[in-house]
């Protein structure tokens, strides 16, 4: 028995090897491919090395030094920057906030975008105008959006002040309140980026074969059932991509926050990147800032790879 | 536009470009990087630059602007690049020292010894100003402005609440005045908490008034008890006490400095702890562009604290200069000598822009309060540079952070001190 299975296994292995060989041989770079490679690889490789790999390596190196940014780093401090970083209250706040932004992006922003996309993927008069309106915040420059919302939230002269004033109440100073400010920022983030996800979903929805929905309709499926059992599974790759963008975007959030609150009051709206900027660059602690950068990079890499491996394998 | 039209235009543009380039090549360019935003002050500087350019056809001084925060963020990279500015704004203190130690600055000792207008250049300046920008006997920036921080108040609002500014010579009296103003329905103090540094003036002055010069100087170098001295704990306690009275405008934690000046200018708050040129800046930032009548504004020095070890004549304030980058052309020094000559310093003083540092120019200072600040500086028993500059960028910003934390009661004075000690240990 054992020898029979052994023989079968050996046969199978042989068959696999034989079948595999021609494929592998195909992948070997032949003389016809070499010029293409020599011509097209170096520019991309060079750019990638100089602007991505090198700065990453440099940041990792700087993170081991106490360095102000002038001259060359000379004062080696080992992992002290990381130690200080993980004891920093503002950094804890930044981590919490980044997590919160991520959760809100996934739980509120993406479903909102999906809902709007469901409404706007149909063809009806005025649909383009609606899509445009909802997409507009995304087109707006981040800094401009931050400044606009700073005025909106202003408790003295802003839109908030006007609305509250209309009802005879005094407006809260949302951006000056350390408990409220982060929610004000979250609202702007959702407002700013839902249009992007909506567009992704509209594209995904339009790629769905209408016959499938029609067939479900004929079979007596309700609106919800059609959405749950036809649209959603077919939209899954887009959804996974959209969540991926939402996660990565949350980790990198900076431009909107700076003009809005600058990370304040009392660090309550600090994100990982605003923390890196305020504590690394502005304080001339490039070593410490690099340590924050390394942590940020690791979080990004781990999240991106795990997510891609776990959920986007087949996309 | 038809095709031919656009070609002709293109050729014309190209020719002008080439001509422009050849003309520029014959001139020495002096790149001047500043952070001034006030249009009235800028026009004075532009005038000075233009008249220098007119007198020196082979030199072209060009002004470059960066916003305050962007300036601080970009300067280290800029200075180490080929497009480094030749002269740039400096607050002195720890940042200037770091730049000097890393060899990006020109040592100005030799230039100061050179004769200009019949005397060594260095002797044309107020000695304290030169001292403030000197480290280890080397001068690293050309001084051009001195200043001091003090309380400005709205006379009408004080009268309305029945507060007499002459009585506010000690801290407890100031706290009482805050309560009286509040009872009268007036916001006692405007502060720009969103930018943090306006709050650090309070902590700095409290530390100075309580601890005195020796204690503050020790903290700078880590001698004696450093930040562990009891004076810093007490400064924190007093700042928390002030914060507990809720003396500031609503939403002060989000307020920027221009907003704060505007609020004071609009008559929305009775006091502001601010720079010497507040009469001008409150006007520029007021909603109506007019602000308070200068006669309606009063000024008094930061009050004494009971049991403190200092004098009311000790001052906190700035000292600004122009640092010169190591590879700057010699014409940069010519321009700086012109910029800080008596006539131009008087021009700046007359524009209510600053308290000049060139000897003899102080007579041109106009305006009761700028004049008063200049006299106060002249009689200063100890002039301390802004803490957030003097202690260096990292420790300085921690001082700003803890000041806001203390005034909001979010941190105990003991925690604040240990945060400072930890940061100091990292330097």
Which pLDDT tens digit goes with each residue over B364-392?
888 888 889 988 888 888 989 999 989 98
For the domain made up of B150-316+385-426, give the CATH fold: D-Maltodextrin-Binding Protein; domain 2 (3.40.190)
Of A145-149, A197-201, B329-333, B368-372, the range with the lowest mean pLDDT is: B368-372
Domain borders along chain B are 3-146+319-380, 150-316+385-426
Please, what are the domains in chain A? 88-311 (1.10.3720.10)
Per CB-CB distance under 8 Å, the chain B contacts of A286 are 76
Dihedral over Cα of A206, A137, A301, A43: its sign = positive
Q: Is B247 helix (H, G, I), strand (E, B) or coil?
A: coil
Nearest partner of A177 among B193, B31, B92, B205, judged by Cα: B193
Give the model's confidence band at A29: pLDDT under 50 very low, under 70 low, under 90 confident, else very high. low
Give the model's confidence band at B17: pLDDT under 50 very low, under 70 low, under 90 confident, else very high. very low
pLDDT, position A8: 67
A208-230, pLDDT tens digit by residue?
A: 999 999 999 999 999 999 999 99
pLDDT, position B94: 86
pLDDT, position A7: 67
Dihedral over Cα of B354, B357, B362, B368: its sign = positive
**Mean pLDDT across the stretch B254-281?**
94
Q: Please state, for a pLDDT cut of 90, what percent of chain B lies above it.
A: 70
Q: Please state, for a pLDDT cut of 90, what percent of chain A lies above it.
A: 65
* H helix and E strand count, chain A: 16, 2
Nearest to A285 among B79, B99, B394 (CB): B394
Give the model's confidence band at A268: pLDDT under 50 very low, under 70 low, under 90 confident, else very high. very high
Q: Tell whether the model's pLDDT for residue B52 goes beyond 50.
A: yes
Q: Tell whether the model's pLDDT for residue A305 goes beyond 60.
A: yes
What residue of B is the nearest CA neighbor of A75?
A: B427
Nearest to B394 among A70, A265, A283 (CB): A283
Q: Please state, for a pLDDT cut of 70, what percent of chain B lies above it.
A: 94
Nearest CA distance, A179 vs chain B (angstrom): 12
Nearest partner of B272 among B196, B190, B173, B201, judged by Cα: B190
User: Does residue A169 or residue A243 have the better pLDDT?
Assistant: A243
Query: What Å distances lie between residue B265 and B151, B196, B286, B288, CA to CA?
Result: 14, 20, 5, 9
Nearest partner of B424 among B149, B224, B195, judged by Cα: B224
Q: Tell whether the model's pLDDT for residue A194 goes beyond 90.
A: yes
- CA–CA separation, A34 and A36 (whole Å): 5
**Mean pLDDT across the stretch A67-96?**
91
Tell me the HSE value of A162 on the side-chain side, using a 13 A CA sphere: 6
pLDDT, position B393: 85
**Mean pLDDT across the stretch B32-49?**
92
At residue B416, φ and ψ (nearest 5 deg) are: -60, -45
Nearest to B98 among A70, A80, A262 (CB): A70
pLDDT, position A6: 59
pLDDT, position B23: 47
At residue B64, φ and ψ (nearest 5 deg) are: -120, 140
Q: CB contact, 8 Å: B409 with chain A?
A: no
Nearest partner of B37 among B7, B75, B66, judged by Cα: B66
| Alpha carbon B229 to chain centroid, angstroms | 27
Q: What pTM, to 2 d.p., does this model score?
A: 0.84
Give the model's confidence band at B294: pLDDT under 50 very low, under 70 low, under 90 confident, else very high. very high
At residue A313, φ and ψ (nearest 5 deg) are: -55, -40
Dihedral over Cα of A279, A283, A284, A285: its sign = negative
Give the model's confidence band at B228: pLDDT under 50 very low, under 70 low, under 90 confident, else very high. very high
At residue B135, φ and ψ (nearest 5 deg) are: -125, 135
pLDDT, position A28: 57
> How is residue B75 written in tokens?
């300067």
The C-alpha angle with vertex A22 and arms to A19 and A24, in degrees rounded to 5, equals 100
Residues B178/B189, Cβ–Cβ less than 8 Å: yes
pLDDT, position A17: 63
Q: Tell whether the model's pLDDT for residue A139 goes beyond 90.
A: yes
**Share in percent of chain B as helix, strand, coil (round to 5):** 55, 15, 30
Q: Name the architecture of domain B3-146+319-380.
A: 3-Layer(aba) Sandwich (3.40)
Place of tokens 């405007």: B190
One fold for B3-146+319-380 and B150-316+385-426 = yes
Q: Tell whether the model's pLDDT for residue A78 goes beyond 60.
A: yes
- Continuous H helices in A121-231: 127-139, 142-153, 159-166, 181-206, 210-218, 223-226
At residue B85, φ and ψ (nearest 5 deg) are: -65, 150
- CA–CA separation, B30 and A197 (whole Å): 49
- CA–CA separation, B290 and B271 (whole Å): 18
What residue of B is the nearest CA neighbor of A69?
A: B76
Residues B261/B282, Cβ–Cβ less than 8 Å: yes
pLDDT, position A3: 55
Dihedral over Cα of A149, A150, A156, A157: its sign = negative
Q: How many CB pairs under 8 A join A and B?
A: 81
- CA–CA separation, A191 and B46 (whole Å): 43
- B404 contacts A266? CB cut-off 8 A: yes
| Alpha carbon A20 to chain centroid, angstroms | 39
B205-221, pLDDT tens digit by residue?
A: 999 999 999 999 999 98
Nearest partner of B211 among B226, B200, B196, judged by Cα: B226
- B98 contacts A282? CB cut-off 8 A: no
What's the ipTM? 0.80
The DSSP string of B181-206 is HHHTT---EE--GGGSHHHHHHHHHH
A98-121, pLDDT tens digit by residue?
A: 999 999 999 999 999 999 999 998
Residues B259/B196, Cβ–Cβ less than 8 Å: no
Per CB-CB distance under 8 Å, the chain B contacts of A261 are 194, 254
**Mean pLDDT across the stretch B306-332?**
93
Residues B189/B153, Cβ–Cβ less than 8 Å: no
């Amino acid at each position: 028995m054992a020898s029979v299975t052994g023989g079968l296994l050996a046969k199978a292995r042989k068959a696999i090897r034989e079948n595999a060989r021609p494929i592998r041989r195909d992948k070997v770079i032949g003389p016809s491919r070499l010029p293409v490679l020599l011509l097209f690889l170096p520019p991309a490789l060079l750019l990638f090395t100089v602007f991505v790999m090198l700065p990453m390596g440099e940041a990792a190196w700087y993170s081991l030094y106490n360095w102000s940014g002038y001259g060359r780093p000379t004062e080696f401090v080992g992992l002290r920057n990381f130690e200080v970083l993980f004891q920093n209250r503002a950094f804890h706040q930044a981590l919490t906030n980044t997590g919160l932004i991520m959760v809100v992006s996934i739980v509120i922003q993406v479903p909102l975008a999906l809902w709007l996309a469901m409404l706007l993927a149909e063809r009806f008069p005025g649909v383009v105008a609606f899509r445009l309106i909802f997409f507009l915040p995304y087109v707006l420059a981040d800094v401009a959006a931050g400044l606009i919302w700073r005025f909106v939230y202003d408790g003295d002269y802003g839109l908030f002040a006007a609305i509250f004033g209309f009802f005879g109440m005094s407006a809260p100073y949302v951006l000056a309140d350390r408990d409220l400010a982060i929610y004000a920022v979250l609202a702007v983030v959702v407002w700013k980026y839902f249009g992007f996800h909506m567009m992704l979903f509209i594209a995904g929805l339009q790629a769905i074969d209408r016959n499938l929905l029609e067939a479900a309709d004929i079979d007596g499926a309700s609106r919800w059932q059609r959405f749950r059992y036809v649209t959603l599974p077919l939209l899954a790759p887009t959804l996974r991509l959209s969540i991926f963008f939402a996660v990565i975007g949350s980790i990198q959030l900076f431009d909107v926050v700076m003009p809005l609150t600058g990370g304040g009051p009392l660090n309550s709206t600090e994100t990982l990147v605003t923390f890196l900027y305020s504590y690394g660059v502005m304080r001339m602690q490039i070593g410490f800032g690099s340590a924050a950068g390394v942590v940020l990079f690791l979080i990004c890499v781990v999240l991106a790879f795990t997510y891609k491996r776990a959920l986007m394998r087949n996309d | 536009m038809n095709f031919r039209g656009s070609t002709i235009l293109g050729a014309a543009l190209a020719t002008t470009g080439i001509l422009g380039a050849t003309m520029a090549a014959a001139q020495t360019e002096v790149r001047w990087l500043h952070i001034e935003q006030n249009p009235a002050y800028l026009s004075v500087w532009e005038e000075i630059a233009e008249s220098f350019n007119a007198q020196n056809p082979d030199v072209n001084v060009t002004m470059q602007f960066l916003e305050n925060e962007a300036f601080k963020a970009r300067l280290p990279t800029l200075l180490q690049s080929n497009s480094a500015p030749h002269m740039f704004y400096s607050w002195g203190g720890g940042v200037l020292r770091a730049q000097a130690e890393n060899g990006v600055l020109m040592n100005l000792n030799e230039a100061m010894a050179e004769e200009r207008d019949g005397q060594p250049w260095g002797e044309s300046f107020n000695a304290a100003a030169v001292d403030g920008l000197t480290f280890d006997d080397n001068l690293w920036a050309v001084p051009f402005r001195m200043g001091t921080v003090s309380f400005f108040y709205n006379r009408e609002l004080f009268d309305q609440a029945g507060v007499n500014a002459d009585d506010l010579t000690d801290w407890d009296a100031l706290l009482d005045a805050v309560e009286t103003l509040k009872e009268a329905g007036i916001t006692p103090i405007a502060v720009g908490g969103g930018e943090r540094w306006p709050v650090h003036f309070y902590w700095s002055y409290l530390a100075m008034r309580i601890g005195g010069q020796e204690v503050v100087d020790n903290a700078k170098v880590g001698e004696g008890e450093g930040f562990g001295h009891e004076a810093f704990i007490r400064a924190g306690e007093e700042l928390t006490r002030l914060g507990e009275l809720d003396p500031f405008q609503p939403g002060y934690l989000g307020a920027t400095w221009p907003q704060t000046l505007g609020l004071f200018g609009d008559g929305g708050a009775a006091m502001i702890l601010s720079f010497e040129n507040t009469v001008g800046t409150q006007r520029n930032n007021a909603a109506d562009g007019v602000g308070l009548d200068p006669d309606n504004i009063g000024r008094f020095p930061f009050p004494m604290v009971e049991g403190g070890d200092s004098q009311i004549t000790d001052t906190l304030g700035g000292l600004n200069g122009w640092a010169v980058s190591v590879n700057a052309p010699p014409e940069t020094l010519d321009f700086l000598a012109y910029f800080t000559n008596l006539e131009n310093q008087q021009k700046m003083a007359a524009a209510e822009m600053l308290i000049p540092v060139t000897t003899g120019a102080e007579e041109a200072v106009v305006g009761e309060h700028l004049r008063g600040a200049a006299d106060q500086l002249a009689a200063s028993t100890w002039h301390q540079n802004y803490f957030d500059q003097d202690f260096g960028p990292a420790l300085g910003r921690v001082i700003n952070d803890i000041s806001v934390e203390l005034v909001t009661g979010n941190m105990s004075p003991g925690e604040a001190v240990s945060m400072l000690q930890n940061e100091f240990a990292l330097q």
